[in-house]
């Protein structure tokens, strides 16, 4: 072989890196620790039931899978730190933010949705996410961020319908543009997030170039009991950059794990990705004065209503050693907050309060926070027993509250607002933000065209009656958007004949899109 190192990256070297550290092999045992004899590893013409080694290997292998995350099941993770770079103590008493220069260990998970495990991550239609778990001295602080600053709907009842409409058709087992667009046209406010998702902002050049938005409005309070309403943001220090649809389709064809590979290689090579942590602080805490709903996750706060404040940065400097133990078993929960940061009061967040606990008990069990990667720096509870891990199960400590025996006692936080914020949200339809996105966030003709190209790719096989509803909706946003869509759709439809069965594939030119540029 000529030296072939040009294509050997840190990912491909991983096993060699292991061998380099290991020097010589350890003794092989069963999971109960008995040495495995050499003859037990060969099983031709032997009685299997007499061989504990093969019994264990098969029984374990057929029980290896645990339920996937319901969404964002494909992903990866990395460790790093959060460092405070600006004094924000006037906004929050959270100790994680209390001193400039203070560092807190972080575990991030990058997720890809609408793509099952094994699917491509460089997909224009998949949502992408970055979740941050900060191991603070006051407990784990989790931020689950999407690559769009807005979310599809505000009523949590739509979660199931949204999942079903965006996923595989129950009969064909194929992702179905018809149900996707049917959902969007029945729930027109979801088009705003769809536009973000299908634009270049939905297809970053890599996880390292992607920003993340927890979307909800949190209430912060300081140690004088004063409140502030904020939206957190994690902005890539590399700036935003995206792949074109053509680049994504080529990359996906040779490396469906390219985003994951890029992140791993960059960290191994010492090229550490970083995110600036900021918050938009609402300029008033008198909510009654506002002419808009600051808790509406489907909309952007109007310009001039908030001030952006720097908090710190997250730097990722270490790959995980084991994906299952450290990433698959990680449990991010938006209710993991610390003193100084209150739960967002909107209805969608309330829906999430139920969802994540339930999902993670199903996926990881009731003792999920005792799995090493989820363990906070400090925890004392009255929970006991259950499916392992139980760790030391709080040993001999008293197991009921209240008690006379010095069991753990609650925090008395005098600064925490006593009232519970009750907000009333409208279910009105808005399209102004979609207009603003199309006309003001997307500045160039090329950006607008690229959005519409991606939309046509979702819609290309969708029958006319649903298309008609989509065009009506686009027209209501901006007639110019609807015209662009119709012109592009007709161009694609006239020049592209998608194969329906293998005999339709042109074997000399299998790319049905070769006559047009998208």
Report if residue 131 touches ligand HEM, rule: CB under 6 A.
yes
Q: Which CB atom, from 145 or from 340, has the smaller least distance to ligand HEM? A: 145
Q: Which CB atom, from 98 or from 161, has the smaller least distance to ligand HEM? A: 161
Q: Of the ranges 230-238, 327-335, 416-424, 436-444, which one interacts with ligand HEM (CB under 6 A)?
A: 327-335
The one among 332, 437, 438, 485 contacting ligand HEM by CB under 6 A: 332
Residue 458 contacts residue 125 (beta carbons within 8 Å) = yes
Report if residue 156 touches ligand HEM, rule: CB under 6 A.
yes
DSSP string, 424-449: --------HHHHHIIIIIS-SHHHHH
Which residues within the stretch 266-325 sit at the binding site for ligand HEM (CB under 6 A)?
A: 297
Q: How many residues bind ligand HEM (CB under 6 A)?
A: 28
DSSP state of 140: E
Q: Which CB atom, from 433 or from 456, has the smaller least distance to ligand HEM? A: 433
Q: Of the ranges 276-284, 326-334, 479-487, 490-498, which one interacts with ligand HEM (CB under 6 A)?
A: 326-334
The percent of the chain in helix, strand and coil, each rounded to the nearest 5, is 35, 15, 50
Q: Which CB atom, from 183 or from 485, has the smaller least distance to ligand HEM? A: 183
Shortest Å, Cβ 499 to ligand HEM: 35
- Farthest-apart Cα atoms in the chain, separation: 82
DSSP string, 73-121: -EEEEEEEEEEE-S--TTT---GGGSSTT-EEEEEEEEEE-SS-TTS-S
The one among 133, 205, 261, 352 contacting ligand HEM by CB under 6 A: 352
Shortest Å, Cβ 297 to ligand HEM: 6
Tokens of 288: 């009654």
Q: Which CB atom, from 106 or from 297, has the smaller least distance to ligand HEM? A: 297
Report if residue 348 touches ligand HEM, rule: CB under 6 A.
yes
Q: Of the ranges 14-22, 353-361, 435-443, 494-502, which one interacts with ligand HEM (CB under 6 A)?
A: 353-361
Q: Which CB atom, from 129 or from 236, has the smaller least distance to ligand HEM? A: 129
The one among 79, 151, 232, 489 contacting ligand HEM by CB under 6 A: 151
Report if residue 360 touches ligand HEM, rule: CB under 6 A.
yes
Shortest Å, Cβ 260 to ligand HEM: 13
Residue 82 contacts residue 179 (beta carbons within 8 Å) = no
Q: CA separation (Å) from 506 to 236, 476, 513?
A: 42, 40, 12
The one among 94, 122, 181, 215 contacting ligand HEM by CB under 6 A: 215
DSSP string, 361-416: HHHH-TTGGGSGGG--S----S---SSSP-TTTTTTS--SSS-SS--------TTS
The one among 144, 181, 455, 481 contacting ligand HEM by CB under 6 A: 144
Shortest Å, Cβ 419 to ligand HEM: 25
Shortest Å, Cβ 352 to ligand HEM: 5
Rounded to whole angstroms, the Cα distance separating 129 from 71 reads 10
Q: Which CB atom, from 111 or from 294, has the smaller least distance to ligand HEM? A: 111
Residue 249 contacts residue 203 (beta carbons within 8 Å) = no
Instruction: Determine phi and psi for 507, rounding to 5 degrees.
Output: -75, -15
Pseudo-torsion of CA 215, 216, 217, 218, nearest 10°? Answer: -120
Q: Of the ranges 21-29, 91-99, 301-309, 352-360, which one interacts with ligand HEM (CB under 6 A)?
A: 352-360
Residue 154 contacts residue 296 (beta carbons within 8 Å) = yes
Q: Of the ranges 143-151, 405-413, 456-464, 491-499, which one interacts with ligand HEM (CB under 6 A)?
A: 143-151
Report if residue 337 touches ligand HEM, rule: CB under 6 A.
no
Report if residue 129 touches ligand HEM, rule: CB under 6 A.
yes
Q: CA separation (Å) from 228 to 90, 92, 231, 287, 434?
A: 10, 8, 10, 10, 28
The one among 109, 205, 233, 436 contacting ligand HEM by CB under 6 A: 109
Q: In 3-state terms, what secondary structure has residue 6?
A: helix
Report if residue 183 touches ligand HEM, rule: CB under 6 A.
no
Rounded to whole angstroms, the Cα distance separating 434 from 453 reads 17
Residues 20-59 as x/- pattern, contact with ligand HEM by CB under 6 A: ----------------------------------------
Residues 465-494 as x/- pattern, contact with ligand HEM by CB under 6 A: ------------------------------
Residue 440 contacts residue 242 (beta carbons within 8 Å) = no
Angle formed at CA 151 by CA 148 and CA 154, multiple of 5 degrees:
165
Residues 61-80 as x/- pattern, contact with ligand HEM by CB under 6 A: --------xxxx--x-----
DSSP state of 503: G
Q: CA separation (Å) from 285 to 28, 289, 418?
A: 63, 9, 16
The one among 80, 202, 204, 214 contacting ligand HEM by CB under 6 A: 214
List residues binding ligand HEM (CB under 6 A): 69-72, 75, 109, 111, 129, 131, 144, 146, 151, 156, 159, 214-215, 297, 330-332, 348, 351-352, 355-356, 359-360, 363
């Amino acid at each position: 072989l000529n030296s072939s190192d040009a294509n050997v990256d840190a990912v491909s070297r991983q096993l060699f890196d292991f061998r380099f550290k290991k020097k010589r092999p350890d003794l092989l045992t069963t999971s109960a620790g008995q040495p495995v004899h050499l003859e037990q590893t060969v099983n031709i013409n032997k009685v299997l039931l007499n061989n504990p080694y093969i019994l264990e290997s098969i029984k374990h292998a057929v029980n290896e899978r645990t339920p996937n995350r319901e969404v964002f099941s494909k992903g990866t993770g990395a460790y790093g730190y959060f460092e405070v770079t600006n004094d924000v103590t006037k906004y929050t008493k959270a100790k994680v933010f209390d001193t400039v220069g203070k560092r807190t260990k972080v575990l991030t998970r990058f997720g890809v949705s609408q793509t099952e495990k094994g699917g491509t991550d460089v997909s224009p239609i998949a949502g992408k996410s970055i979740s941050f778990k900060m191991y603070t001295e006051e407990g784990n602080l989790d931020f689950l961020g999407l690559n769009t600053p807005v979310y599809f709907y505000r009523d949590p009842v739509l979660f199931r319908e949204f999942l079903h409409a965006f996923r595989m058709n129950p009969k064909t087992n194929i992702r179905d543009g018809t149900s996707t667009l049917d959902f969007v046209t029945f729930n027109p406010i979801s088009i705003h997030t769809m536009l973000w998702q299908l634009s270049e902002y939905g297809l970053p050049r890599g996880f390292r170039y992607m920003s993340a938005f927890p979307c909800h409005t949190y209430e912060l309070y300081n140690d004088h009991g004063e409140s502030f309403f904020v939206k957190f943001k994690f902005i890539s220090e590399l700036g935003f950059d995206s792949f074109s649809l053509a680049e994504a389709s080529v990359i996906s064809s040779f490396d469906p794990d390219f985003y994951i590979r890029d992140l791993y290689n960059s960290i191994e090579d010492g090229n550490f990705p970083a995110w600036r942590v900021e918050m938009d602080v609402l300029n008033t805490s008198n909510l009654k004065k506002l002419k808009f709903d600051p808790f509406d996750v489907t909309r952007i706060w109007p310009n001039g209503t908030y001030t952006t404040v720097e908090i710190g940065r997250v730097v990722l400097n270490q790959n995980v050693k084991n994906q299952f133990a450290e990433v698959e078993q990680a449990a991010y929960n938006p209710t993991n907050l610390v003193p100084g940061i209150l739960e967002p009061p909107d209805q969608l967040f309330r829906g999430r309060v139920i969802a994540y606990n339930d999902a993670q008990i199903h996926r990881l069990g009731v003792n999920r926070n005792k799995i090493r990667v989820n363990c906070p720096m400090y925890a004392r509870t009255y929970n006991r027993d259950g499916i392992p891990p139980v760790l030391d199960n709080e040993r001999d400590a008293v197991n009921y509250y209240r008690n006379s025996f010095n069991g753990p006692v609650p925090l008395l936080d005098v600064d925490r607002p006593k009232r519970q914020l009750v907000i009333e949200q409208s279910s009105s339809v808005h399209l102004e933000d979609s207009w603003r996105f199309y006309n003001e966030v997307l500045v160039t003709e090329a950006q607008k065209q690229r959005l519409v190209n991606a939309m046509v790719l979702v819609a290309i096989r969708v029958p006319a009656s649903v298309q008609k509803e989509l065009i009506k909706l686009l027209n209501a946003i901006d007639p110019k958007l609807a015209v662009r869509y119709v012109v592009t759709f007709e161009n694609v439809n006239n020049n592209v004949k998608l194969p329906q069965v293998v005999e339709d594939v042109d074997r000399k030119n299998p790319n049905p899109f070769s006559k047009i540029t998208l």
